[in-house]
Structure formats: structure tokens, C-alpha cells
Amino acid sequence: MTKTAVYPGSFDPVTYGHLDIAKRATNIFDHLIIAVTSNQSKKTLFSIKERVAMIKTVTKQMPKVEVQSFDGLLVEFVKAHKAKVIIRGLRAVSDFEYELQMALMNRKLESAVDTVFLMPAEPYTYLSSSVVKEIMSKGGNAAQFLPPFVEQKLRQKFSLTKK
């Protein structure tokens, strides 16, 4: 039986930190669905279609990874894909309180779904999409945090918004 996990997020944009978590998850699970959400509480720079396309491009060498978008309750998406596990990355203690709350709520909504927390490699513990966007919006170099394809897309996006 295939063990499937779902790694949800806005991934706006996907960073090396996200990819590190995905790689760690594929060492544990047979199949990983990266579930890109249209989280209404976040103002995203990239459309959901653009984010899915970027993640598909940078994960094409990861055969256990599938990328999909979703809207709605995460536990419903997880159940619909016959998964039992949600993957969440923890960078710092500050992430834990929010993530624990979400994990407990998801368990309350669907007791058969568990959350597994993974920590990224040390170089990515401070990394977030928001920080990367801030660096790039100010003309900084964020190449060390992003796959080249994603960095190029981010540069294009910021050159369009400055015009």
C-alpha cells in the first residue's frame, strides 16, 4: 500500500527551504502531493497557476512528487487523495504555536489524519517566501535561497510591477 502525504502551503514563491522539506518527506513517504493553496488571508505575488507551474518545474527530478492546487478545507483534500498525513515545516519555535493549533484543529475535523512536522536543514531555518520577496523587491540578490528558474520568475515579476 502506498503511503501518501500532503505538503500544503502558498509557496509564493517556492524556496530551497520548501524543497528541502519536500525531499525529507519523500525519504519517508512513497508519494508526496505538494498542495498549493489560494489562501485568502495572504496576498500572493504569483497566481496559483504560476505557483503550481514553478513547483512542477523545480520538482520534475523528484519522481515521488505530484503538484496540485486546492481550495477549501485541507483535511477534505487529504481525504480525497487517500492520504493520512499532512507535512508541515517548522523553522523556529515561533512557528510551532500556530502549526500545533492547526494540527489539532485538523485532527478534530478528521481524526484519521495526522500531521508530521519536519525541520529544514540549518541554512533554511530563517528562510521564508516573505523574506525572499522583500529582498528581491529592494533589488537584493536572493539567488542562494531560490532555484534559478524561480529567481528568474521573481525578477520578471518585480520588473513588471516597477513599470
- Residue numbers annotated as active site: 18, 42, 91, 129
Of the candidates 36, 99, 100, the residue with the CA atom closest to the CA atom of residue 72: 36
Task: Indicate if the alpha-carbon torsion angle 52, 66, 11, 17 is positive or negative.
Answer: negative
Report the distance separating Cα 45 and Cα 16, nearest Å.
18
In contact, 78 and 110? CB cutoff 8 Å? yes
CA-CA distance, 85 to 109, in Å (whole number)? 14
